[in-house]
Amino acid sequence: MDIRSVKIEIIKAIHDCSQRGLYQTVKWLSELNFALHHVKLKESDIPKYKESEEELEEYLVAKSYFDIKEYDRCAHYLKNCVSHKSKFLYYYSSYLSIEKKKLDNMADTNCPPDPKKDDDLRNLASQLLKDNFQDKMDGYLQYLYGVILKKLDATYLATDNLLKSVRAEPMLWCSWFELGKLVEDFSILPDHWMKEFFIAHACLEQLRNDEALQMCETLGAKGFNNSMFLMSQLALCYHNNRELDKAIGMFRRILQQDPYRLDNLDIYSNLLYVQEMKTQLADLAHKVVTIDKYRVETCCVIGNYYSLRSDHPKAVLYFKRALKLNPRFLSAWTLMGHEFMEMKNTNAAIQSYRKALEINNKDYRAWYGLGQTYEILKMYFYSLHYYKQAQQLKPNDSRMIIAVGEIYEKLDKIENALKCYFKACSVGDVEGLALLRLSKLYDKLNDTENAAAAFTEYCLREESNKDKAYEEQTDFYNALQYLANYHMNKGQLEDAYTYAYKCLDCDETKEQGKALLKEIAAKRAERDNEVKMVESGQREPPDVNNSSDMNFSDMNMEN
C-alpha cells in the first residue's frame, strides 16, 4: 500500500463526495486523511479542480438549498439536469425529502411505517430503474439505487447495485458500508486498498471478531494507527469478545484524542453499565448532553444512566427519543426491550426485540432477549428457538450455550443439557455458571462422583473471586457444604473438615457448617479411640484372611 497515493486518492474523493452532499462519507474520509497527517504531499500532488460550466448555475443554487436541508427546492432546480453530478443531487435530495417527511409524520415510534408500502420510495426507485436500463448511471447513482432497493427489502438487487458502485467508485465508503451486512464472500469485491477497511468493518458486522481484530491491527501497522475509525473498530471488537477492560481503555483513548466525538458512545455507555461504573456513566451522560442533546447516541447514554439507577420508565422515555430521531437505530430498540423486561412488560419487550431484528437479524442480543422473554412466559419451545439463534451467532459465548442448556433441562432433555454445559466449560466459562449448572444437574441425577468433581472445580475457580455478588456467594457456600457432606460420607474427614470450616464464613451455611464440624469431631474421636484400643491391646485388629478362612471352614462343616 503506497501511503502517498492513498492520501491523494482520499483528497480527491473528499472533493467529489462533498459536491454530492455525501457528508458522512466526507467525514469518514477526512478522519482517515487526518490520520495520515504525517504523510506530506507536494503542491503538485494535490488535485486541482475546475468547475464545469455545464448546468453550473442550477447546481450552485440547488446545492445551497441542499446544504440547509430544503430538499424539495433542491430537487426542483435540478429536475431537468443531465450531468452526473446534478442528476445524483436531484435523486439524493428527493430521497432525503421522502425520509424526512416519513420521520416528521411518524406518530408512534413503536409502529414505524412499513418500508415495503412506501409508494414515494417505489416511484423514485422506478425512475432510477429507467436510468439503469439506459446505462446512464455512474457509481454514485448505483450506490443510491442500491440503498433504496435495500430499504424496499430487495436485498439481492441492492447487493448487485452496491457491488457495481464500489467497482466504479472504489473510494465511495458509504457503498462499502452498506455492503457490510450483505457480502460474506470477499473475493467478489474489487482489489483496492479500501477493501481492507471494508473487511475490518464487515467482519465486525458479521460477528467475525477475530478476523476484524486482525485486519484492524494490520491496517494500523500500515500507517493508520491514529485512525479514529480503526480505534473504534478495535473497541467494538474487544466489546464483542467480552474483553471489557480493553474496550473501556480504547474508548477512553478515543475520547482523549477527540473529546467531542459521539460516534459509538452508546456502546461505551453499555460497557460502563455492565461494569456498574455509576460515576463514570454519570460523567459521560453529562458530557454528551453538553455536546449535542439531540443525537441518538446521547439519548442512549442517558437511557443507560437512568437504567443503572433503576429508573426504567425514564430510561424507556430516552430510548423512545432516540428512535424519534432515527427509527432504525439498532441499539435503542434492543436497550428498550431490556427496559421493558425489567418493567415486566413482556409484550412491549417482544415488540422491541422484533423491531431490532427487522433492522439487523444478526443482532444476537435481540435473539437472546426474545429467548429470555419467552422463558419468563414459560413458553420453553419458543425460548429454545430464540436462544439457539443467538447461540449460532455467538457460538463460543458460554452465556448463550448455558441458556440453551437451561431450557433443555426445563424440558427434561437431560442429555442435551449436559452436552451444553460441557461445551460451555470447554469454550471458556465467562461467568463461571456452566460448572455450577453441571454440578447441580449431576446432583439432581444422584451422580455423586461427577457432582463432587464438578463442585470441586467450581469452588477452586470461585475462591479466587473476592468480589462475588450475593447470589454467587450463596452458590459457592452451598457447593462447599455439598463437598463437606460428600467427603464425610466417604470417610475422608480431613477434606470434609476443610470444606465444613469454610462454610462458617456465610450466614446461610454457618449452622450447617457447625453441625458438620461437630459430627466430624465425633467421628474423629471415635476413630482415635479405636486406634488407641488397638495399640493398647484391648482390641485385636480384624484379620480379614483368618475370618474368611474360618467362615469357609464353618461352611464346610455345615455341609
pLDDT score, position 554: 39
pTM: 0.83
Q: Which three cell numbers stand for residue 552?
A: 469357609
170-188 as b/e, with b when 16 or more CB fall inside 10 Å?
bbbbbbbbbbebbbeeeee
pLDDT score, position 536: 65
Range 310-335 average pLDDT:
94
pLDDT score, position 537: 62
CA 137 distance to own-chain centroid: 37
Ramachandran area for residue 291 (φ above 0: left; ψ -120 to 50: alpha; else beta) = alpha
pLDDT score, position 444: 85
pLDDT score, position 64: 95
Cα within 13 Å of Cα(107), Cβ side: 0
pLDDT score, position 51: 65
Residue-wise pLDDT tens digits, 306-319: 999 999 999 999 99
pLDDT at 75 over 80: yes
Q: What residues does each domain of the chain span?
A: 1-50, 413-543
- Lowest average pLDDT, out of 236-250, 372-386, 419-433, goes to 419-433
Cα within 13 Å of Cα(52), Cβ side: 9
pLDDT score, position 495: 85
pLDDT at 548 over 60: no
Q: Which residue has the higher pLDDT, 535 or 552?
A: 535
Classify burial at 347, counting beta carbons within 10 Å of its beta carbon; exposed 0-12, middle 13-18, buried 19 or more: exposed
Q: Which three cell numbers stand for residue 335?
A: 436497550
User: Which residue reads 437505530 in cell numbers?
Assistant: 329
Percentage of the chain beyond pLDDT 70 is 90
Fold type of domain 413-543: 1.25.40
User: Which residue reads 409508494 in cell numbers?
Assistant: 119
Q: pLDDT-based confidence at 471, cuts 50/70/90? A: low
Range 256-263 average pLDDT:
94
| Cα separation, 559 vs 552, whole angstroms | 11
pLDDT score, position 542: 53
pLDDT score, position 322: 94
Task: Report how far apart, in Å, the C-alpha atoms of 485 and of each of 90, 123, 452, 492, 503 are.
Answer: 79, 75, 10, 10, 11
Cβ–Cβ < 8 Å for 284, 301 = yes
Range 208-222 average pLDDT:
91
Range 411-416 average pLDDT:
91
| Cα separation, 507 vs 505, whole angstroms | 7
Q: Which residue has the higher pLDDT, 463 or 234?
A: 234
**DSSP state, residue 186:** G
Quote the crossing angle between the two packed helices 507-536 and 493-502, to the nearest 10°: 150
Annotate 128-148 with DSSP letters as a single string: HHHHHHTT---HHHHHHHHHH
pLDDT at 111 over 60: no
Grouping H, G, I as helix, E, B as strand and the rest as coil, residue 530 is helix
Q: Where are the alpha helices (DSSP H) in 294-345?
A: 296-308, 312-325, 330-342
| Cα separation, 397 vs 243, whole angstroms | 12
pLDDT at 108 over 70: no
Grouping H, G, I as helix, E, B as strand and the rest as coil, residue 380 is helix
User: Which residue reads 455509576 in cell numbers?
Assistant: 278
Q: pLDDT-based confidence at 136, cuts 50/70/90? A: confident
Q: Which three cell numbers stand for residue 92?
A: 439524493
